[in-house]
Structure 1
Amino acid sequence: MSDKKIKVLYVDDEENNLISFKANFRIKYQVYTALSGEEAIKILDQKEIDIIITDQRMPHMTGVEFLESIIPKHPDPMRILLTGYADMSAVVDAVNKGKIFHYLSKPWDEDELDITITRAYDVLNKKREIEVMNKKLETSNDQLEFMLRQKLLS
């Protein structure tokens, strides 16, 4: 990993959880916090976020609804869902609709969450590398096609 800190957005309606998360991870990661899905969307519109961690049970918008709503505009960040409830339908929805990378139960374990963030970031970097390679390949194909057309015309 480079010197660049992983940018993590943690969304939870319980302010104590946000404070605890920031206290535990602010040195290792660049941490952003939001008390609601609406507040988180504003942050996503302003910052490039690598990892999104959200609580499932929040007023106005569940974690799954929040994750699902941001996919069209912010498809890249890796998504982690936290919930204190053994709610299997929320987990299934999160996987199917919210495109989550991982599900963890609350209260979260600091080491497990740290490992999950690191794994998610590794997957994100692999996706980014593949995108760069695909763009290079696309350019190479365009150049090759152009050269073949030139050859056929001459």
Structure 2
Amino acid sequence: MSDISATDPDAPARPTLLLVDDEDSILSSLKRTLRREAYRILTATGGRAGLDELARNRVDVIVSDQRMPDMSGVEFLRRAKELYPDTVRMVLSGYSDLQSITDAINEGAIYKFLSKPWDDDMLKAEIEEAFQRKQLHDENRRLNQQVQATNAELIRLNAQLQEALEAQQRRTALGESALATVQEIVNCLPVPLLGVDPEGLLVFANADATRRFARHPLLGTFVAEALPAVAELVAQAGGEQRISIDGCAYRVSCHAVDSITLQRGYLLIFIPEGTK
């Protein structure tokens, strides 16, 4: 049977004590002793009834008599440990049963032995300590679950980061390969190409430009110094004109381009006259 406090709407949130004894008078005495305590009290008249209460209710602390006809307290608490290992289990008995109780304590089935007859103040103190032990155990378990959840989240985020990094590396490798291919193609074009930065500095020359304009300093010099004939095109930020360099006539077009930093640069394309 259960104490009337079990019908309290707030009961599920309260610490719960289960008292097990085959004698109603003992249960009544225990309840009177503990009536002012701040926990919910359930009672059961024997081990099997105690197991039924455990199946119906969340219990924190169990206090069981040892000598009961259907099942001894040690047997009941061993069974309770198997089914509900988070409970704090104590046995209430005389010293004649001390050996079996000691064995159960050593194997972890019982947390503590309480002697009969009991001292009220001592009994209340022991039960309060048991609830504190259960509270500490629950808090440790909560923190452990929190740590495990945090670790799992970190593992997930690390996997996502690794996947993103690998994808970025693949994109970078692809970009580098594409850039190398473009550079190779540009370098093989049979017309001179020059790249000029926004300040007018020559920063790129393909192979044909290097060959045709070998008499002129190119990379690292300003276009106005290296090839004054095309400086006006760059100054105008675009356009087309015909010029002569080293006795060769070219149709030169200047195209404004955007760099990665969004600054405008220029591409000079030299088409030798007579080339379509």
So what's the TM-score if we normalise by structure 1?
0.90
Q: 1:24 Cα deviation (Å)? A: 1.6
What SS class does the counterpart of residue 86 from structure 1 fall into? Answer: helix
* Structure 1 unpaired stretches of 5+: none
Equivalent residue runs for 1:70-149 within 5 Å = 70-97=80-107, 99-149=109-159
CA distance in 2, matches of 1:146, 1:31: 44
Q: Cα distance 1:118–1:23, how it changes in 2: closer, same or farther (>3 A)?
A: same
Spell out, residue by residue over 1:34-86, the C-alpha distance to the aligned partner (whole angstroms, 9 max, x if none).
11001111111111111100011111211010011122221111111111233
The one of 7, 12, 17 equivalent to 2:21 is: 12
The one of 27, 31, 34 equivalent to 1:22 is: 31
What SS class does the counterpart of residue 143 from structure 2 fall into? Answer: helix
* Structure 2 unpaired stretches of 5+: 1-12, 166-276
- The 8 Å contact of residues 18 and 41 in structure 2, kept in 1 or not, is answered as yes
- The 8 Å contact of residues 50 and 124 in structure 1, kept in 2 or not, is answered as yes
- The 8 Å contact of residues 64 and 97 in structure 1, kept in 2 or not, is answered as no
Q: Cα distance 1:5–1:135, how it changes in 2: closer, same or farther (>3 A)?
A: closer
CA distance in 2, matches of 1:19, 1:85: 22
So what's the TM-score if we normalise by structure 2?
0.52
CA distance in 2, matches of 1:38, 1:93: 22
Q: 1:5 Cα deviation (Å)? A: 4.5
CA distance in 2, matches of 1:22, 1:104: 16
CA distance in 1, matches of 2:45, 2:118: 17
CA distance in 2, matches of 1:5, 1:68: 25
Counterpart of 2:65 in structure 1 is 55
Q: Which structure's relative contact order is higher, taking Cα pairs within 8 Å and 6+ residues apart?
A: 1
Q: 1:99 Cα deviation (Å)? A: 2.1
Q: 1:93 Cα deviation (Å)? A: 2.5
Q: Cα distance 1:151–1:6, how it changes in 2: closer, same or farther (>3 A)?
A: closer
The one of 44, 52, 71 equivalent to 2:54 is: 44
Q: How many pairs align?
A: 152
The aligned amino acid for 1:41 is L
The aligned amino acid for 1:9 is L
Q: 1:15 Cα deviation (Å)? A: 1.6
Relative to its length, the structure with more strand (as a share) is 2
Pair member with larger Rg: 2
CA distance in 2, matches of 1:16, 1:143: 54
